[in-house]
Structure 1
Amino acid sequence: MPGGSASAAASARPPPPPDSCRFIGAVTGTPAHPETVLLGRRTPDGDLRLVARGTPLAPPRRALLAERMSSAGPGHPWHGMRVSSHGGSHDRLDSTPVAPRLVAEFEGDTAVDRGRRRQPVRLHRLRTDLTPEDVPAPSVEGEAARAPRTHRAPG
């Protein structure tokens, strides 16, 4: 390759996010003491959609997230949202919206019901090389595409 500039430019860009990356849009607990994360993505029309709930966080992961998260402003569409404490449960957990700036890579069961992962997912790592805008919108058949339209992004 003459000059190598095309390959150098290509290697400088982060790789596209895997399908297992979503932004952290809320937590159970507080941003200073997160217990679990709630992961989301934007739809093609700009809605913020909840797509997965995380498993309980280990203490080192809680501390790392607490250092990097901040509470969301009043325009965050997930204020007042409650999630089930575990699959099939009628017990509900309050959540606290956070500024959707962190992208997390997760691992978990791929079963999806109404646009959300059926089972809690395990946070694998933070992707500091990605922003929420790097997380692609779902396809029409994909995760969150058929979820109820209840959470509109502030305009």
Structure 2
Amino acid sequence: MNDVYLFIHVATAILFIGAVAVATSLFPRYATGDDAAGFVGSGGHPAAVAMHRITRLYGLLAVISPVAGLILAIRWHALGHTWVWLSLVLVVIAWALLLLAIIPQQEKLLREVPADPAKARGRAAAFAGVFNLLWFVVLVLMYAKP
């Protein structure tokens, strides 16, 4: 049964977290690009809308990965390891960033043209970068198990 949980843990990390990492990184380009202003009345640039949908849906589905990982940690008696708890804390921070900053920011950029598109693009890219960095650190912790 551990093999099933491990498969679910890794597969959902690749499929869902990986997709969110890409979508959050691509969103600023399409939401604040030169041609984005032409799509404001229709809900935003179609590519930005698609990236936002992926961010929202896959971001929620990605909860499967740490849940499967937590089940594995319990089954393997690994809850006493610092790297497990540090990973969980980083996952919670990443989701807080996603739910409280990235998704609301994306929705705002789809509704209205920012006064300073370059600044809005930079801010959205920075949030995406921090989000992706958090997941990268979690990946390193999962691999290295320091």
Q: Give the helix-richer structure, 1 or 2.
A: 2
Q: Aligning the two structures, in what range does the TM-score lie when normalised by the shorter sequence?
A: under 0.3
| Bigger relative CO (Cα 8 Å, ≥ 6 apart) | 2
Q: Give the strand-richer structure, 1 or 2.
A: 1
Larger Rg: 2
TM-score by length of 1: 0.23
TM-score by length of 2: 0.24
